[in-house]
Copies of this chain bind each other. A is one copy, B any other.
Amino acid sequence: MKIQLINPNTSAAMTASLADAARQVLHPGNQLLAVTNSAGPASIEGHYDEALSVPGLLQAIRDGERNGVQGHVIACFGDPGLLAAREIARHPVIGIAEAAMHLATWVATGFSIVTTLGRTKVIARHLVERYGFHQHCRGIHAVEIPVLALDDDPEGLLRSMRTACAGALERDESGAIVLGCAGMSHLATELTEELGVPVIDGVSAALKMVEMLGELKLSTSKRGDLDYPLAKPYAGFLQGFAWPALTPASSPL
């Protein structure tokens, strides 16, 4: 099984780091394709960034499907383009916020989210509502470190996260932490051990869910609202996105 991990931002360094971690959780037989968004924002820290990460992400989904990918993970905590991606993919698509929140409810009666910047908390909040977890999510917190600065001071990040997670557990009376950014994935194991609670990385969780769906031979329903898009022309700099006659993967767009 070939699984595509899509980093919706354009940081190849982050993609490489995610790919390293991802390979450790995939089943031995499965193959990882880690893809950096070829278009859009360097990091996703608001609605504007998120909206503009979607075209490149959808390209990656389409190209992946053409190239034999059998499942996709969208590795940004806002789950950008999730339903649009499901429309054009024959294979499963899972977002990391979705994955982490679902998993959190299997191991705790309540969880807290710890994310990067305060301005992104509303995105998490909206997803909590959309996914139905407002009774399970007991708090959303931010360490106020920008996405691309997460790697600048690894020790400082760990300290900040440790403090924020411990504070969240205490104040929210939660049993688990959901990491609110793909760029925090590498901290999950260490924080889990230090804090003694499940600290959940959505990237790993989503990868396993895609594997699981593949093994169960289940994928997005094509009955109703997630069916393939209706055929129609697309104009301007997005004309290559016309469905189904999308331009070849190698097109310059």
A212 and B213 within 8 A (CB): no
Q: B107 near A41 (CB under 8 angstroms)?
A: no
Q: Which residues of B contact A51 (CB under 8 A)?
A: 51, 54-55, 58, 81, 84
Say yes or no for A248: interface residue by CB 8 A criterion. Answer: no
A68-92 interface mask toward B, CB cutoff 8 Å, 1 = contact, 0 = none? 0000000000000101101110001
Restricting to A112-139, which residues have a CB under 8 Å from any CB of B? 118-123, 125-126, 129-136
Chain B CB within 10 Å, residue with most, of A50, A129, A236: A236
Interface 0/1 of A41-76, CB less than 8 Å to B:
111011111111011101000000000000000000
* Contact assessment for B122 and A110 in the assembled complex, using a CB-CB cutoff below 8 Å: yes
Question: Which B residues lie within 8 Å of A174 (CB)?
Answer: 224
- Residues of A in contact with B, size category: 35 or more
With contact pairs A46-B87, A213-B107 given, residues A221 and B175 touching in the complex (Cβ less than 8 Å): yes
> Which residues of chain A have a CB within 8 Å of any CB of chain B?
10, 25, 27, 37-43, 45-52, 54-56, 58, 81, 83-84, 86-88, 92, 94, 98, 102-103, 105-110, 118-123, 125-126, 129-136, 146, 148, 169, 173-176, 189, 192, 196-198, 200, 204-205, 208-209, 211-213, 215-227, 229-230, 232-239, 241-243, 252-253
10 tightest CB-CB pairs across the interface, nearest first? A39-B236, A132-B132, A175-B221, A47-B83, A122-B225, A51-B84, A10-B235, A208-B212, A47-B84, A108-B221
